[in-house]
Amino acid sequence: MTSQMVDIHTPGLKWWLTHLETEFHSTDSVDRYIDVLKRRSIRNPTPAAVGTAQLCLRLIGSHKFTTIGNLVEYVLNIEAKLSTARPKEMSIRNMVRRVLGIIREEAENNGQLAMFNAAMEASEAREEAPKTPSSASRPTILTSHASFAGTNQAAMTSLFNIFNVHSPQVLSTATTPLHSGVNTPVQHLPPGTSPHITKDIKPAVMQDIRELVDELESSDSAIAEFGPQLLPRNEIVMTYGLPPLIHKLLLKAAHKKDHDFTVVVVEGSPNIMKQTHAAFMNMGSLSDEDEEAEEQTAARKSLQDRGVQMILIPDSNIYNFIPRVNKVLLAANYVLADGSVVTTSGALNLARAAKAYSKPVVVLAGSHTLCPVTTYNPENFVEYGPPPTISSDDDDLLSMADFPNPLQDFIKPDFVTMFVTNNGINPKETINRTTLDLYHMTEPDLV
Amino acid sequence: MSSKNKKQAAASGKKKGDEQRENSILQAVVLTDSYQTRFRPLTLEEPRCLLPLANVPLIEYTLEWLAFAGVKDVFIFASTHSDKIEEYIRSSKWNKPSSPFDKCQIVMSPSSFSVGDAMRELDGKGMITTDFLLINGDFVSTLPLEDVLRVHRNRRAKDKNAIMTMILRKASSSYSKKPWGERGLFVLDESTDRCIHYEEMRPSKKKAPIPVKLRKEHPTMRIRADLIDCQVDICSPDVPALFTENFDYQHIRRDFLHGILVDFDLYGKTIHTHIVTDGYAARVRSLQTYDSVSKDIIGRRTFPFVPDSNLGTDQNYTVNGHNIYQEEDVILARDSKVGRNTILGRGVNIGEGSSVGNSIIGNGCKIGKNVELDGAYIWENVVIGDGCKIQKSIVASNSVLGNNCLINGAVVSYGVKVEDGTKFEPGQMITSYTLKQASSEVSVADDERAAVPGIDYEDSEDDYTEDEKININRDGLAYSREDEEAYLSSSSIDLIDNLPGEDSDSDSDDEGHIKRTAKTGRSDSTTSFEDADEAWHREAYTSLLGAMENDHPAEVANLELNGLRMTANANFHQVRRAVSAALVARIDQVATKTGVAIGKVVTQTLERWETTIRRCVFERKDEVDFLLLSQRECLHKPAGPNILSAMAQVLNNTMELISEEAINDWWVDVRSSEDEKMAAVRKPTEAFIQWLADAETESESEGDDEDEEEESDDDYNAAAYHSRFLETECQSIGNFATLPFRQTKDAQLMTSHVDPDSPDYDILDDILDSFRANIMFRNFKIDGNADCTLIYGILWISECLRMLQPEKPQDPLPTLNQALVKLRSSAHENIVLPGDAKFPLNQYFQSPGSAADQLRTYITQMRMELAGRLVARLYADGTGKPSKWWLAFSKRKFMSVSLSAF
């Protein structure tokens, strides 16, 4: 009988990691990953970041390259491929950019920065050549960022072309972070001039990527470490839903003896209702799609048991409670360079209330969610999900109505007070610097 | 290829490493063919699963969902247009090394005419050994499978007779008001989720009988009509096997589910349901569902399977507010308006002053100035002239519409060219299919695939009922089809095929290019190109069918037919053709409309029109001709094979219109199996032919009760066969005739049949010959002592067959020697004698009394000998496997009893 038993595993991050371990193939795996991303089998910033970092690790490990130019071109290629899969899931792109940053760092350590920059430029030039041959000397990296939002590329390119015409020199020093200060005489160095040196940096790059993965995996708990600091005794905080990140932080804070505080949890319909209720009743898992976490969940002592007072309110009730609250906690999906926050839809409402009553809004964000981009068009970051089921007796009315269901809210920097990342607490004003340093850039991309 | 191998090697490595994964991954069988004709005329040219839904072929949604759910092995079953499906899949991303499927296999089965045929083929090829998922190639869904499968698996572990889990979705409250063609009524036992009864409901059928005995067995049951049935089933390998066993099952719900549930006592299999409330699931089975699913995709109900996920290759949609999806390179004139819920494909060009809303426009379409599109589905590369208005219509690829056309609720098929200022009424369907076929022969020089003028596509049988018409109106969508399955008969295909080429000189007429072929087919136009015979056939066919539909007296119809024959000087072959076509069409029509078993419909119809048949069938070769013609007519019916089989039986047996010799002649006639299709159509009749051969000689009509007929699924209208040895004088013990029989040695096992007339023919040959004819019966009238011997023999054979059936479906069938050993050894065991308490038929048999030992010896020898001869027959084909045509009877119980059960 057992031989007849069939099984099925919905693909997810776990499936993807097993796939990388057992069936990795340098080109097929990339295509598969793109498919999986498009199908939303892997979604949410953290799983997407982990999946991408692991993929990069394998790809670079298996890729045989002779020069830095080779490697950079290869990574840029991956970036271009992956970022079109899900432009709105920016952690995918962030990870590839971090890898690029790692390569740059290692190149610098080995005194090959010039080669790195040359490679960046060369690939830029190649990319641009068919479109605008005149702008070959244009600042690098920018165009590859331009496809961040996929379709806005055309608009961006033209914008920079305008600048280019007027003052190419000024711009090239100001906007090319990756060869900052280096006036490269080897700009058009053909790849392959010094073929053997680069072999040295591969192990170092791999090691750095591994460290990046470790950082990713410990990111949540590193943020949770700030819990006691953020929540002094008798504090009353309000959270929008109870996402794993906040839940962890609260648990950590409550861990301390005699550390009692009150949490007001806002439930929002339709997207986070179930998750919030589960977490509230201490049944939710603390990390995205981790099956083993269920056991931990069962063993975990709930917030209530640890002496925290928990209040669950509907989002219509925010304004009644906000005057009594000391602080608002939000978990970010993404943080843009200017301090804008992309987060669960409905949170904007809470942020507005907090602003109206001058309550501080603290945003929790792992470093992989910091994006070196700014935007004029918040719509670019909002994805629309399936509409909730509306039942009505009036079919004609239903057929006339649209039911948009945005999955994210875009919160402008004015509503945010400070950010807590795994690297420390940042006031809003410094997040720009922190983000750009992370990617070795001097200026964010415009999306 | 090498990467694939590597992958598999790696996969096997993984299996070793990970012990938990010893279970095999669920396989999926995708049926690309719906075996329906609701999308005609579109499906004349393209298979249904490749029709674009939101600019993506339908099957993509199904396969994406399978990948989403984690399915690894996919079998794609293709019958009509199988070449196109194969070509598509081969060049798609599913066939590349990066495909999420380890195996994506296309199973070509051009001879399948129903789900039943497909399942039988599946069983025949033995490709499925584990539980599998059965879905259709037009299924759009986001259901997670993991939980469903877990429940199914747990249930299977406890009870291996739980052979199927149907996944049903609870409908929203407005569901009951929506128009519908057919819906399932499920009676469920809530405590176990078991489905205990199923009825298919149609608008014309408002009552469903629910057997009383269910009420006794299930104290609580729930009758639900609010379940959307997308025909997604997790099936065990027993399911295809049961289809093979019941070769008349066509439809998975109407026949299979209903049959298995009704015959629960016989099969002992249970079918369960899993009702889901989350997620999206729908099938595109009609033009109306095409419309509603398209709207759901635009409304993002199918998230993540929405256009801007860009799942297809080379797709680059973006979405902005109000659900306007846009591909690259769209050109919109400055004052054109694009309203909400619209998809614009790559390179769409919309002219000045045009407005588009609630529409889907495919790649490369050119829309002129001042065009209004609302609820329009425009496929690829369509050119729409200035000032057109299109509402709630489908315009298929490569069509060209002239200026100022008005199209409302119509379907314009592939490559139709429409003149300026044409107006299409709701429900019109325009195709250029026939003309393309014709012109390809005539004008090869015309290289560019110019759009050809279309002709109206009209069915000869507009037989949808009044309710359905109401539905159509209520839906607001003007498509006139939520029709019955297979409403279209072969004759209308003929009609299409034979439509005359269009006169090119009728241009003066505005409607010149769109000529309606009247329903009566009495097209007095353009007979010049038309074959006179064809015209006559059509005329006769239509008039006859009309008479049948309106229930005219047979005499009147005969007179009319005769008149027609005289005027056109038609020969009787043509008359027979018309009669057979009309009869088959009528039977199909009635059967699909009322849902009555085909056997019954055939009997009724044929008896009603007996005189008509008699007037054109005179001698044996006419009879053969009539059968051939009927077979050809059945070719295009989904239920054709069954109709044919039933017709052959009724004509021969009940009505004695056609002699057995004629049937045999027909069967051996090369024309009746000249190609695959013809062979497929007559396949179900094979059982009848076999039966005829088995029961060749004398037979007295005796058993005539309806019960038998109902029970035996196949509407055999015949009586049980008695022993030929009733007259032979012999010794008897009790009333058990101890007739002499030959004893064979092993070496003689393979001896061929003994002729019934030869003196060597003995009681055991008699038993074996009449076994398959008798096994179906539940009642048997004992006419003499030899009959008792016969009964015992039949019971023993069915016992043997049961023993030969492997316990688990995936086990191999026994080889000749294994079978012999097994049967011979059990021949000595557990011998029950008449008169024993255990013997099932003591009411018919007398106790042997003091001669019990003598009887025991006789019976033992008889069992031994019978087992030997049975094995010889089973393995006569030399394949090393027992004949399917025998094993199929292993579950039948003669007279409802068996030897072993007692």
Residue carrying structure tokens 């070795």: A440
Q: Which of A229-238, B218-227, B454-463, B771-780 has the lowest mean pLDDT?
A: B454-463
Q: Which of A385-394, B209-218, B877-886 has the lowest mean pLDDT?
A: B877-886
CB contact under 8 A, A398 and B130: no
Percent of chain B residues topping a pLDDT of 90? 14
Per-residue pLDDT at B96: 86
Structure tokens at A328: 């608002």
- Per-residue confidence at A197, pLDDT binned at 50, 70, 90? low
Question: How far apart, in Å, are the Cα atoms of B155 and each of B27, B646, B666?
Answer: 18, 39, 49
Please, which residues 148-167 of chain B have a Cβ atom closer than 8 Å to chain A? 149, 153, 156-157, 160
Confirm if B364 and B383 have CB atoms less than 8 A apart.
no
Q: Does A183 touch chain B (CB under 8 A)?
A: no
CB contact under 8 A, A28 and B69: no
Report the DSSP beta bridge partners of residue B194: B189, B272
Once rounded to an integer, what is the mean pLDDT over residues B588-592?
A: 80
Once rounded to an integer, what is the mean pLDDT over residues A303-331?
A: 92
Q: For residue range B758-771, what is the model confidence (pLDDT) as tens digits?
A: 777 788 888 887 77
Identify the residue with better confidence: A379 or A295: A379
Per-residue pLDDT at A295: 60
CB contact under 8 A, A23 and B11: yes
Give DSSP secondary structure letters for A130-154: TT-GGGTTS-STHHHHHGGGGGGHH
Per-residue pLDDT at B508: 31
Could you check whether the bond before residue B179 is cis, i.e. omega within 30 degrees of 0?
no
Q: Does B210 touch chain A (CB under 8 A)?
A: no
Confirm if A171 and A139 have CB atoms less than 8 A apart.
yes
- For A60, half-sphere exposure in the C-beta direction (CA atoms, 13 angstrom radius) is 30
**Cβ neighbours around B347 below 10 Å, total:** 17
CB contact under 8 A, A6 and B153: yes
Q: Residue B116: which of B257, B268, B281, B285 has the closest Cα?
A: B257
Confirm if A335 and A277 have CB atoms less than 8 A apart.
no
Confirm if B410 and B393 have CB atoms less than 8 A apart.
yes
Q: Residue B208 carries which side chain, given as an amino acid letter?
A: A
Those residues with Cβ within 8 angstroms of residue A314's Cβ, 6 or more apart along the chain or in another chain: A266, A267
Left (φ > 0), alpha (ψ -120 to 50) or beta: where does A346 sit?
A: left
- Per-residue confidence at A112, pLDDT binned at 50, 70, 90? confident
For B154, the closest chain A residue by CA position comes to A5
- Give the gap in angstroms from C-alpha A125 to the nearest C-alpha of chain B: 24
Left (φ > 0), alpha (ψ -120 to 50) or beta: where does B704 sit?
A: alpha
B856 pLDDT more than 50: yes
Confirm if B515 and B456 have CB atoms less than 8 A apart.
yes
Distance (Å, rounded) from C-alpha A72 to C-alpha B548?
79
Distance (Å, rounded) from C-alpha A125 to C-alpha B865?
90
CB contact under 8 A, B156 and A4: yes
Those residues with Cβ within 8 angstroms of residue B477's Cβ, 6 or more apart along the chain or in another chain: B287, B288, B291, B375, B392, B409
CB contact under 8 A, A22 and B280: no
Identify the residue with better confidence: A368 or A112: A368
Identify the residue with better confidence: B653 or B394: B394
Confirm if B167 and A43 have CB atoms less than 8 A apart.
no
Helix segments in B18-108, DSSP class H: 58-69, 82-91
Beta-strand pair B227-235/B132-136: antiparallel
Q: For residue range B487-533, what is the model confidence (pLDDT) as tens digits?
A: 332 222 332 333 333 333 333 333 333 333 333 233 333 333 346 67
Per-residue pLDDT at A411: 95
- Per-residue confidence at B716, pLDDT binned at 50, 70, 90? very low
In chain A, what are the domains?
9-218 (no CATH), 225-446 (3.40.50.10470)
Per-residue pLDDT at B633: 79
B746 pLDDT more than 70: no
Which residues of chain A make contact with B340, given a CB cutoff of 8 A? 402
Per-residue pLDDT at B459: 42
Once rounded to an integer, what is the mean pLDDT over residues B12-23?
A: 41
Per-residue pLDDT at A435: 93
Those residues with Cβ within 8 angstroms of residue B317's Cβ, 6 or more apart along the chain or in another chain: B307, B308, B310, B325, B326, B327, B343
Per-residue pLDDT at B447: 33
Once rounded to an integer, what is the mean pLDDT over residues B446-461?
A: 42
- For B527, half-sphere exposure in the C-beta direction (CA atoms, 13 angstrom radius) is 11
- Per-residue confidence at B65, pLDDT binned at 50, 70, 90? very high
Per-residue pLDDT at A122: 81
**Cβ neighbours around A427 below 10 Å, total:** 11
Per-residue pLDDT at A51: 93
Distance (Å, rounded) from C-alpha A86 to C-alpha A93?
9
Q: Which of A10-19, B172-181, B294-303, B696-705 has the lowest mean pLDDT?
A: B696-705
Q: Does A104 touch chain B (CB under 8 A)?
A: no
Per-residue pLDDT at B435: 55
CB contact under 8 A, B160 and A1: yes
Structure tokens at A330: 């939000």
B669 pLDDT more than 50: yes
Name which of A11, A18, A32 is nearest B70 (Cβ-Cβ).
A11
Left (φ > 0), alpha (ψ -120 to 50) or beta: where does B585 sit?
A: alpha
- Per-residue confidence at B434, pLDDT binned at 50, 70, 90? low
Q: Which among A386-395, B27-36, B375-384, B751-760 has the top mean pLDDT?
A: B375-384
CB contact under 8 A, A7 and B149: yes
CB contact under 8 A, B236 and A1: no
Per-residue pLDDT at B167: 92
Q: Residue B408: which of B419, B385, B392 has the closest Cα?
A: B392
Distance (Å, rounded) from C-alpha A2 to C-alpha A317?
54
Q: Does B322 touch chain A (CB under 8 A)?
A: yes
Q: Residue A304: which of A274, A265, A273 has the closest Cα?
A: A265
In chain B, what are the domains?
23-298 (3.90.550.10), 720-896 (1.10.1760.10)
Q: For residue range A27-51, what is the model confidence (pLDDT) as tens digits?
A: 888 989 999 999 888 888 999 999 9
Q: For residue range B798-841, what is the model confidence (pLDDT) as tens digits?
A: 888 888 877 776 677 778 788 888 888 888 777 777 777 777 77
Name which of A5, A392, A393 is nearest B23 (Cβ-Cβ).
A5
Q: Is the ipTM of this complex over 0.90?
A: no
- Give the gap in angstroms from C-alpha A420 to the nearest C-alpha of chain B: 32
Element spanning A204, H or E: helix A201-224
Element spanning A75, H or E: helix A68-85
For A382, the closest chain B residue by CA position comes to B320
Question: How far apart, in Å, are the Cα atoms of B510 and each of A122, B425, B825?
Answer: 64, 15, 85
Per-residue pLDDT at A332: 95
Q: Residue A10: which of B13, B73, B278, B66 has the closest Cα?
A: B66
Please, which residues 78-97 of chain A have a Cβ atom closer than 8 Å to chain B? 84
Once rounded to an integer, what is the mean pLDDT over residues B68-76?
A: 90
CB contact under 8 A, B321 and A41: no
SS (H, E, C) B93-115: HHHCCCCCCCEEEEEECCCCCCH
Q: Does A298 touch chain B (CB under 8 A)?
A: no
Per-residue pLDDT at B437: 56
Those residues with Cβ within 8 angstroms of residue B396's Cβ, 6 or more apart along the chain or in another chain: B42, B379, B382, B411, B412, B413, B414, B415, B416
A358 pLDDT more than 90: yes
* Residue A435 DSSP SS3: helix
Distance (Å, rounded) from C-alpha B792 to C-alpha B862?
10
Query: Across all residues in chain B, what is the average pLDDT?
Result: 75
Structure tokens at A168: 């190419």
Identify the residue with better confidence: B472 or A200: A200
Per-residue pLDDT at B469: 34
Which residues of chain A make contact with B7, given a CB cutoff of 8 A? 23, 25, 28
Distance (Å, rounded) from C-alpha B49 to C-alpha A52?
34
A263 pLDDT more than 90: yes
Confirm if A5 and B156 have CB atoms less than 8 A apart.
yes
Question: How far apart, in Å, are the Cα atoms of B295 and each of A111, B263, B282, B301?
Answer: 59, 41, 12, 9
Q: Which of A351-355, B195-199, B364-368, B877-881 has the lowest mean pLDDT?
A: B877-881
Catalogue the long-range contacts made by A351-356 (C-beta closer than 8 Å, 24 or more residues apart): A351/A411, A351/A415, A351/A416, A352/A415, A353/A318, A353/A319, A353/A322, A354/A238, A354/A322, A354/A325, A354/A328, A354/A415, A355/A414, A355/A415, A356/A322
SS (H, E, C) B756-790: CCCCCCCHHHHHHHHHHHHCCCCCCCCCCHHHHHH
Phi then psi for A236, rounded to 5 degrees?
-115, 115
Q: Residue A37: which of A49, A24, A21 has the closest Cα?
A: A49
Left (φ > 0), alpha (ψ -120 to 50) or beta: where does B360 sit?
A: beta
Identify the residue with better confidence: B500 or A99: A99
Once rounded to an integer, what is the mean pLDDT over residues B565-587?
A: 79
Which residues of chain B make contact with A22, given a CB cutoff of 8 A? 10-11, 13-14, 17
- Per-residue confidence at B754, pLDDT binned at 50, 70, 90? low
For B66, the closest chain A residue by CA position comes to A10
Which residues of A217-308 form beta strands (DSSP E)? 236-240, 262-267
Please, which residues 439-498 of chain B have a Cβ atom closer than 8 Å to chain A? none
Question: How far apart, in Å, are the Cα atoms of B116 and each of A313, B108, B134, B247?
Answer: 55, 15, 12, 8
Per-residue pLDDT at B809: 67
Structure tokens at A387: 């509409």
Structure tokens at B461: 């049988």
Percent of chain A residues topping a pLDDT of 70? 78
Q: For residue range B219-273, what is the model confidence (pLDDT) as tens digits?
A: 888 888 888 888 899 999 889 888 888 877 888 888 889 888 888 888 888 999 9
- Per-residue confidence at A361, pLDDT binned at 50, 70, 90? very high
Per-residue pLDDT at B614: 77
Which residues of chain A make contact with B174, given a CB cutoff of 8 A? 391-393, 395, 398
Q: Residue B166: which of B177, B152, B180 has the closest Cα?
A: B152
Per-residue pLDDT at B621: 77
Per-residue pLDDT at B813: 77
